[in-house]
Each structure stands twice: as C-alpha cells, then as structure tokens.
Structure 1
Amino acid sequence: MELRAFAEQVLLRPSLEEKLTAPPATLTDTDPGPAARIAEPERTPDLVFAPRRSAPSMPSPQALADPHKRAIAHHIMANHELQALEVMAWVLLAFPEAPTDFRMGMACVMRDEQRHTRMHAERARKLGVEFGELPVNCYIWKKAQEFHSVLDYLAGLPLVFEGRNLDHTCELAEAFEAAGDPRSARLMQVIHDDEIEHVRFGIEWLRRLKRDDQSDWDAFVDHLHWPLRPGKARGMVFQREARLAAGLGAEFVDRLEKWTDEESVETG
C-alpha cells in the first residue's frame, strides 16, 4: 500500500471503521504525489465538526466520580486522537516533498493514534456514550491549517499538543483512579507512554530539519503560530522526567517549565 493511499483513506473516507483500519506492515512511499491541502476531513454526520462552543467541555476531576462524566471525557479524547490522526494524514498530503524517513515514521505514529481513538471510543461506550453521540470540536484540526511547513507541524502537534498530553495523561490517570475507575487510569498510562515516543519523534525531526544555527528552543518557538505558544505545551502538573525521557534537552525543559505568557509579548 502506498503511504499516500493510507493518508487518503484516513482523511477522505467518512467511515470511522476505515479511518481506524491500520495500514499493512509493508508501506511504500514511491509515489507521494502532488501537494494537496484538504480544508476539512470527511466524516460521517455524527462526527462532523460542530459549531464553535457547542461541543461539551472536559469534566472537572471531581465530576469524574459520575460514570457519565467519565464517558464524556473519553468521548472528547477520542475526538482529540481522531483529529491528530487526520492532521497527520493532512501533513502527508500537504508536504509530499518531506523526507521519506519522516513520512514513514509518521505512519507508525498514526497507527498509535488509531489505537488511541479506538481505546477511548470503546471506553466511552462501556460507560454509556457512543462515539459520535455528542458534538465534537475541531480545535486541533483548525490549528493545523496554519502549518506551512513540516517544521510548523513538528512544533505545533508533537511538541505542543502531544507535549501537553504528557501532563494531561498523568492528571487524568490520577483523577480516574480517584474516581474508582482503574481501567480508565490504565488507559491513560498506556497513552502517556506512547506520547513520550511521539514527542521524541517530534524533537528528533525538529533537530534534523531546523537551521544549523538555531537551538532546539528557538526553532520550536519560531515555528509556532499564535495562539500556540510554549505555555500551551504544559498541563497543570509538569512532567519533567517524561520530557527528558522523550529526548528534550535539559535547557529546553527548563525554559518550558519556567515559561510565562509575558514572554510571548516580548518575543512577538
């Protein structure tokens, strides 16, 4: 199977089953084709992006004592994972000139995103909510429309969205455990471990593609598009060791941990 065909399967087929069908172990990238920037992924009517602010917000940790609220949380995260998968497919179509090793590595990450989507959707179902039963937002997808290079993608998705998830997965694992739902807590730990590898993929390719005279941090900041900024790459409880395990340098982690949004104004 050609990598482009896999990207088109994820992005242009509305069926969730097709989107989540993993590609064969042997993929080829001999015909990446012309660049194509898709405005919106094809989705079935129940998963079409909802109008702004109509999708439910993430329940508070205290609210997760209610199984229905836990189901809502998994429903929201299933959509986050699905958007990440679709954005990765979008990148493969938008930047066919990217190095083959990068593109093939993306396919490996996409397999994880497919699995994460299924895990959250199945857990939501067990808790009483079918995936697609609630409105879903398009925030991650809309931010991707501002990516004009592979470096923009690396700064924005692996190092901001997935970097932030290093914190959120731990926070939610703790909250699910406190709510008496160890199965959901274990699910979050599995995803946390995968996110370490996804952030590693992001920083390794940022280093390979950035200018030689740029530090990792400067390349990261230079390729963020507002409102994405370093502060968006953190949750409430900063998981320093997870970031170091992902290969972020100590200086990078220090600057991220100490970042204040006032710096966004100073640096423009």
Structure 2
Amino acid sequence: MFLITGATGNVGRHLVAELATAGHKVRALTRDPAAARFPAGVEAAATADMPLDGVGAVFVNPAVFHGGFGDLLDRCREHGVRRVVMLSSSSTLDAGPGNPIGQMHLDKEREIEASGLEWVFPRPGAFAANALAWAGQIRADGVVRGAYADAQTAPIHERDIAAVCARALTGDDLVGTRPVLSGPESLTFTDQARRIGEVIGRDVRYEELSREDARAQMLGGGYVTPVIADSLLDMFAACVGRPAEISPEVERITGRPARTFAEWAADNADLFA
C-alpha cells in the first residue's frame, strides 16, 4: 500500500488518481476524510492520525510538515515502510541563506537520507499551478499584474510531477536519485498570460508592477512572509532575459513528452473564465 500525504493538493490528487488507476492500493491523507472525494477503492484517512499499518512506501509533501517530520521517519522504520518519496524542489540547487525555500527542502532531504530508508527526491521547478494566483485578476479584467514580466521559467504540469512520483513509488530504478523536473518550454510571465487568454478565448495581458508594488501585493494576501516574498522576487529578477533550462527527465522517466503550459491552461480553463 502507498500512503499519500497532501492527497488533495496540486500534486497529491493527481498522484492518488495515477496510482488508483494502475490498480495500486492507496491510503490518501487529508484533514477531513469525510469530505474527501477520492477515486473508488482509495482509503481516506486523517493526516493527524498518519496510519502506517500495511504501508510499503510513503509520498511526503513537505508543506504538510511544518518545522520537521517529528517522529514520522522513526514510525516508518517501526512499521516496515521501505521507501520515502519526497516532493522536493529544484531550488535546492541554489540553497542558502538567501533562498529559504531551497534550504528548507534541502534540510528535509538530508533528514530523510539520514533515516536509513530508501528515498527519491523529485525536484520540480516552477509549477504551472502558480498561475492560479492570477485567476481572480483574469476573471475581473483580463490583466495580470505582477513583477518582472520578462522573467522566464519552464512551468511543469502537476500531472507530470505526479507521474514521476508514481514511478518513484512503484519502481526501483529511481531509488537514491534527485531528478530535476521541468516543463517542455521556457516562457515569460507575459507568454503564460497570453497562452491562458488563447485557451479561454479572451485577451489576457501581463502588466508589470514595480518590485515594491509587487512585493506589497504578495504580502497583502497574508500567505507569503516578507522573507519568502523577497526570495521569490530575487529569483524572478535573476530569470529576466535568461531562458529557463529544460530538463529531459519527465520524458525519460515516463516515456512521453512533458505536457505544455497550454495543455495545463486547457485542463484548468474553467478557473479563469
């Protein structure tokens, strides 16, 4: 059986579906199991309980574990869990004091490595789902307002991340690896806004804000700390005029090309229209 934390998240829900469709036994963790809607045959359980009986491998979304894993890794060993697949980040490649996101993921990777369990750390870059933060603006007037319009990333569809994680859980060939994952094309924020518009049949444009105004906008939602806001803005600034590196790992691991941003936009068009 596979235990999936963050099972209703952007990656977790696709991973649950991928494993269930392939006929695997899945225990999906969520804060409210009674309200969860998982595919038929999937066992829903409470995140707070973290039941590990009968589990052979665990998918860990580090966002679920604020400040550390607690006794999770010890309990994994006690229950005979063999493998941990953690959703890491390509930001680990530049971890340090100025990159708290990368450093957090790197610290958690090291914690799992030290446990003695088998491990795989998929390291995706920018999620295509980051563009969901624009949905309200697009619905309102078709204008996305943010920093660094010409910053380039290679946004990856979360279904591709899930497909790689499924392979990491079910096969042995990725054990001990840290595959860096990306989408198939380098796009500016302006490009991404335009592609969403093309999919929903509206004119959507990106209006660049000053760094100060963009920072205030990020902090205004209450979900981003000043340190994280500054780190993200620094990263975006460094990506201006620099094409994002495209990784071949999604195709190598899954046997099919990575999905494009336009495909992601089509899959989520109802959220922007």
| TM-score, structure 1 as length reference | 0.32
| TM-score, structure 2 as length reference | 0.31
Q: Per residue, is there more helix in 1 or in 2?
A: 1
Larger of the two Rg values belongs to structure: 2
Q: Per residue, is there more strand in 1 or in 2?
A: 2
